[in-house]
């Protein structure tokens, strides 16, 4: 048991230390994801080390202190999402049919054969806007049943798991399918017109995840390019999709800080959307970030539809006269420079592929 405990202690300390390295390498950035799981394993390591390690007390105490510090470090990433923590995005104070709308985001899993379950889900919750990631042409054919209820759409199905579709009951204008970093990974932009006549900017995204053979510079660059567009426009904005990143990662936090968007999960829960099939390894990968002009009316993780992601439903109300954020962070000069540097480096890396 002592050998197992030593191996476990070494593993959790390495997993905690690796993300400190400022690198886009997949084998480093992958440890940004399982903060809660690593924290649990550290707790197990502390208990086992106290009971089974036959070290001199001074060395044992030092190890226990290092493990305890690592546990606190891991927990700090997820504590902001606990219900006892203050919310950054405020609840709506002025709900109106002219300014309120709902958005359903779902990664459908391209290989899934449960296409009718999505159609039933959409009929059940009846969102005003529907963003789907991973649809291919088979999915597009199935989803066409919804066209009557969603007269406005951007459809770009692909067979590489990076297809996207945006369906809307609200008018879409100035719509575009963009390839910001890679030629086969699209993102969407559109202006959505609310019943009140107000136009809001909408970005739909699904960048590549960190995985063997694929580092994170493409994902990071795409998000930061969108962040720069948001900052330059200063318009009411929503960014949604499968970001293949957790809200507490360095890039995600830098993106939100630079674009001055809020995460409605903070103070409300993790709302883990991936992986449906592995309950012990679930992370919040699907996100809906938005600017301070919106108040929150609803935030729900929906039921399983046969995908490896749970759908996410949000209700928002456009109320620019209200202060709907608390302590929203703003970037300093160094962080602004970091964004520009990461964008340029990411473009160079992509061009060299």
pLDDT tens figures, 120-148? 999 999 999 999 999 999 999 999 999 99
Confidence of residue 214 (pLDDT cuts 50, 70, 90): low
> For the whole model, what pTM was predicted?
0.93
Residue pLDDT, tens place only, 278-330: 999 999 999 999 999 999 999 999 999 999 999 999 999 999 987 777 777 88
Beta bridge partners of 165: 132, 155
Domain 100-343, second-level architecture: 4-Layer Sandwich (3.60)
Q: In sequence order, which ranges of the chain are alpha helices (DSSP H)?
A: 2-17, 26-29, 35-52, 57-78, 115-125, 137-143, 217-233, 250-259, 333-352
Residues 100-115, mean pLDDT to the nearest whole number: 96
Confidence of residue 209 (pLDDT cuts 50, 70, 90): confident
**Cα–Cα distance for residue pair 98/8, rounded to 1 Å:** 56
Q: How far is CA 1 from CA 6, 7, 52, 351, in A?
A: 9, 10, 7, 50
Contacts of 255 (CB under 8 A, 6+ apart): 223, 224, 226, 227, 261
pLDDT at 351: 61
pLDDT at 106: 98
Q: Which one, of 248, 281, 245, lies nearest residue 265 by Cα?
A: 248
**Cα–Cα distance for residue pair 254/349, rounded to 1 Å:** 20
Confidence of residue 276 (pLDDT cuts 50, 70, 90): very high
Q: How far is CA 257 from the centre of its chain?
A: 14
- Residue, of 24 and 119, whose pLDDT is higher: 119
pLDDT at 133: 98
Q: How many CB atoms lie within 10 A of CB 279?
A: 8
Percent of the chain with pLDDT over 90: 78
φ/ψ bin of 109: left (φ > 0), alpha (ψ from -120 to 50), beta (otherwise): left
């Amino acid at each position: 048991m002592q050998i197992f405990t030593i191996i476990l202690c070494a593993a959790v300390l390495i997993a905690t230390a690796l993300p400190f390295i400022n690198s886009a390498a997949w084998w480093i950035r992958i440890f940004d994801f399982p903060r809660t799981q690593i924290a649990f394993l550290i707790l197990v390591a502390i208990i086992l080390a106290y009971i089974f390690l036959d070290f001199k007390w001074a060395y044992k105490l030092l190890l226990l202190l290092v493990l305890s510090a690592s546990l606190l470090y891991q927990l700090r990433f997820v504590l902001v999402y606990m219900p006892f923590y203050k919310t950054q995005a405020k609840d709506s104070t002025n709900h109106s049919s002219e300014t309120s709308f709902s958005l359903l985001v779902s990664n459908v899993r391209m290989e899934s054969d449960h296409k009718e379950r999505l159609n039933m889900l959409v009929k059940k919750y009846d969102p005003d806007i529907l963003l789907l990631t991973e649809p291919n042409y088979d999915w597009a054919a199935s989803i066409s049943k919804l066209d009557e209820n969603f007269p406005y759409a951007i459809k770009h199905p692909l067979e590489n798991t990076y297809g996207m579709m945006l369906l809307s009951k609200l008018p879409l204008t100035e719509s575009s399918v963009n390839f910001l970093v890679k030629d086969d990974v699209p993102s969407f932009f559109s202006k959505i017109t609310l019943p009140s006549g107000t136009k809001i900017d909408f970005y739909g995204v699904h960048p590549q995840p960190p995985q063997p053979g694929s580092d994170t510079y493409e994902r990071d660059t795409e998000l930061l390019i969108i962040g720069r567009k948001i900052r330059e426009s200063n318009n009411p904005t929503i960014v949604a999709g499968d970001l293949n990143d957790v809200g507490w990662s360095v890039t995600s936090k830098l993106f939100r800080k630079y674009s001055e968007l809020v995460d409605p999960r903070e103070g409300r829960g993790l709302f883990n959307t991936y992986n449906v099939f592995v309950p012990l390894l679930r992370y919040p990968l699907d996100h809906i970030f938005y600017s301070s002009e919106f108040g929150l009316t609803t935030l729900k993780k929906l039921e399983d539809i046969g995908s490896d992601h749970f759908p996410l439903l949000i209700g928002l109300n456009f109320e620019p006269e209200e202060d709907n954020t608390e302590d929203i962070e703003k970037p300093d000069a160094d962080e602004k420079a970091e964004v520009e540097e990461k964008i340029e480096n990411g473009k160079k890396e992509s061009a060299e592929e």
